[in-house]
Amino acid sequence: MTPPAQRIEEGVERGAPFPGFVARGVATTLPAQFFAELLPLIDDEAELRVTLYALYAIGRRKGTLRAVRVSQLASEEPLRRALAGCGGDAALTPSIERAVARGSLLTLDLEDGDTLCFMNSAAGRRNRERLRSGALKPPPGVSIAAPREQRGAIEVDAPARVYEQEIGALTPEITDALDAAAERWPADWIVRALRLAARHNVRRWAYAESILRRWEAEGVGEEGGTADAEPGADHARAERRDHGPYERVIRRS
């Protein structure tokens, strides 16, 4: 009996109709958002084919790190055949760039010139940030390149790495909070605020954020500004914050 994979391959080569899905075949799961929100936005055939195949390739990866190298995608024969009629091998990189710009994929540059691709999901965003910060050890043989804007400059400790070292485990909510903070304050401010929070034994992002807000309003001195001179001030201010209808519940707990 001819193996299913061989039947499909022969059918493709002859131009015959697809012979149908095999029983007990391995399934690939895609988020419903792909079909409801993303698919109607993709107007480039090569981008659609690359996005679908990249999500399939990422999904079949084992372990915590769900990502695939661009070089691995380039060597996948089914993807090469899929792109044969819409730009060929040369369409791969531009299609990935379009998918990144659209928000369906994330990428991370490697020192060897290759690129890792992630699904733009909570897990993908978290793993990319943890790899970039050094909080997650990359697989053997993989070295993460410095961000393009930092190449040739003195690298500072990444806030995500310092958070895990000084405060606790990264969660999707904390990752989003650090991303938002990075858009508002310099990375070295965030690192200093996290280390001050640890020094004051108030290991909470809310405390570090209150320090950043004070520095933004009052300036930062050589020793960390007023927050460093008054170890309990930010914590006390945070405790006095109005929590609305939940105030009494919070105070009782």
Question: Whole-model pTM?
Answer: 0.58
For 142-162, b/e burial (b = at least 16 CB within 10 A) is bebbeeeeeeeeeeebbbbbb
Asked if residue 102 lies in contact with residue 114, where contact means CB atoms within 8 angstroms, the answer is no
Q: Would you write out the chain's pLDDT as a tens digit for each of its 253 residues?
A: 445 444 444 445 556 898 899 988 888 889 999 999 999 999 999 999 999 999 999 999 888 789 999 999 999 999 999 999 999 999 999 999 999 999 999 999 998 899 999 999 988 988 888 888 777 777 777 788 765 544 443 344 588 888 988 899 888 899 889 988 988 888 888 999 999 999 999 999 999 999 999 988 887 754 444 444 444 444 444 444 444 554 444 444 4
